[in-house]
Structure 1
Amino acid sequence: MIALGCDHGGYELKQEIIAYLEKNHLEYKDFGCFSKEAVDYPEYAKLVGHAVAGGECEKGILICGTGIGISITANKIKGVRAALCSDCFSAEATRLHNDANILAMGGRVVGAGLALKIVDIFLNTPFSGDERHARRISKIED
């Protein structure tokens, strides 16, 4: 299951991602927000981060205006490896090398077409499992 969260700056892009997930029959849990009314992004980053770190959801997607604040907040949660991506190469590399479990994007930075490609790559790229990458991840977790 995919955990979704956004603030008002990411609401419209989250709706596009929900349509993509539904079209591809992927289960998700929407932690909000649920409108374009101004809210504080840390609340949603924490909800999604804890859902992923706690095992309720396998991966997460977070969106705020730039993706910066929401990714910083999520990364404060032990077990979360949130990666801010605005291109396809980074989305693939962060899954292959970092085993990132949360994708962060900026709703005011990335258009819907590119964002959906990034989501597709992030969700469908497995961790490489290479020893050097696993070793580096364990150093992050220490």
Structure 2
Amino acid sequence: MTIVLGSDHAGHKFKIALSDYLQTHDIATKIVGSQSEDRFDYPIASDEVAHHLLHHPHDFGILICGSGIGVSIRANRYPHIRAALCTTPQLAQLAREHNHANVLCLGERIITIEQAKEIVNVFLNAKPDLGERHLHRVHLLGTELVD
């Protein structure tokens, strides 16, 4: 399993810090998106993470921008991507258990790096609930929208 981390310029510091943190726990990471704190558009980072996951569905993504909102909106446009903006460990756990989220979105301007690490730990260690009601709802998330 690889964790692919993407960010715009506003999330670059967290991306590097979280990649280093995960690697110290023997978790493979891949960095995409911004290469520095110079301007970088968050939709491109989301696209890069989503494309990776479409070809490697057992991996996870972490997307970071200033608020976490923009990256989550863009990532959720892709089929089979369930991106969740989480600001607490409880939200991260519920996103994985109930919604089978495969992308964690964070806002560098909203939480601290220590909070981010805790949220990442919970997200990666939580297991999807495979009960009928959650499987049905996750299936509905992937169905075509009708007018």
Contact 2:6 2:45 in 1 (8 A): yes
- In structure 2, the residue matched to 1:129 is 130
Normalised by the size of structure 1, how large is the TM-score? Answer: 0.97
SS of 1:31's partner is strand
1:5-51 Cα deviation digits (max 9, x unpaired): 00011011112101211110101111121100011100010010111
1:88-107 Cα deviation digits (max 9, x unpaired): 10000010000000000001
- In structure 2, the residue matched to 1:20 is 21
SS of 1:76's partner is coil
Higher relative contact order, structure no. (Cα contacts within 8 Å, ≥ 6 residues apart): 1
Displacement of 1:80 after TM fit?
A: 0.2
Q: Distance in 2 between matches of 1:37 and 1:57?
A: 31
How many percent identity over aligned positions?
Answer: 38
Cα separation, partners in 2 of 1:56 and 1:79, compared to 1, 3 Å: closer
Displacement of 1:54 after TM fit?
A: 2.4
SS of 1:4's partner is strand
Displacement of 1:57 after TM fit?
A: 5.7
Where do 5+ consecutive residues of structure 1 fail to align? none
CA RMSD in angstroms comes to 1.0
Q: Quick check: 71-80 or 56-65, which moved more? A: 56-65
- In structure 2, the residue matched to 1:81 is 82
Q: Distance in 1 between matches of 2:26 and 2:4?
A: 14
Normalised by the size of structure 2, how large is the TM-score? Answer: 0.93
Q: Distance in 1 between matches of 2:107 and 2:55?
A: 25
Q: Distance in 2 between matches of 1:114 and 1:88?
A: 8
Displacement of 1:113 after TM fit?
A: 0.5
- In structure 1, the residue matched to 2:39 is 38
- In structure 1, the residue matched to 2:120 is 119
Q: Distance in 1 between matches of 2:115 and 2:89?
A: 8
